[in-house]
Amino acid sequence: MTAHGFVVDTDKGRLDVDMIHGFLGAQAGWAAGMPRDVLQRAIDGSLCFGVYAADGAQVAFARVITDQATFAYLLDVFVLPAHRGQGHSTRLMDVIIAHPGLQGLRRFMLTTMTASALYARYGFVPTPFADALMERHDPDPYRARLV
């Protein structure tokens, strides 16, 4: 999809993995210390969306973990600070929601602390099953492990 000189696509070959790694490590506390090879494996196993300026520079990113049949989980969504307020998050979400592999899913989930209003416009609501959701959580999975 092209809008206002920006392109949104799912070509993993275009992703600026160094920029994504740097941004997530610096801006997303949960990703602090994530080795680049771990991020690359995450990208390799996911449906990824990049937003690119006319010069090819990547300005936004989102990743969806999905089987493209019944379930999807949206995460790692960001727009670089210099490009915020220009509608990139809306265009990115428009493309994600319209993606053929994300149609007819039983459940499409995400977690957000800052963008509830954006996601609500796309039909995301707080889960009524909060008591049923469970997790295994390691708050520091990238620290050196003693063997």
Q: Where do the domains of the chain lie, and which CATH numbers do they carry?
A: 2-120 (3.40.630.30)
pLDDT tier for residue 21 given thresholds of 50, 70 and 90: very high
What residues contact 21, with CB distance under 8 A and at least 6 apart?
34, 36, 39
- Please report which confidence band the pLDDT of residue 72 belongs to, taking 50, 70 and 90 as the band edges: very high
Please tell me the predicted confidence (pLDDT) of residue 30: 72
Read off the pLDDT band of 2 (50, 70, 90): low
In three-state form (DSSP H/G/I as H, E/B as E, the rest C), the secondary structure along 13-51 is HHCCHHHHHHHHHHHCHHHCCCCHHHHHHHHHCCEEEEE
Tell me the residue ranges of DSSP E strands in the chain: 2-3, 6-9, 47-52, 58-66, 71-79, 107-110
pLDDT for the residue 144: 62
- The encoded tokens of residue 87 equal 């509608």
The pLDDT of residue 146: 46
Alpha-carbon distance of 71 to 109, in angstroms, equals 8
Residue 142: per-residue pLDDT: 81
Enumerate residues 6+ apart whose C-beta is below 8 A from 71: 105, 106, 107, 108, 109
> Rounded CA gap, 43 and 130, in Å?
28
144: alpha, beta or left? (left if phi > 0; alpha if psi -120 to 50): beta
pLDDT > 70 fraction of the chain, expressed in percent and rounded: 94
More confident residue, 143 or 52: 52
pLDDT of 31 over the 60 cut: yes
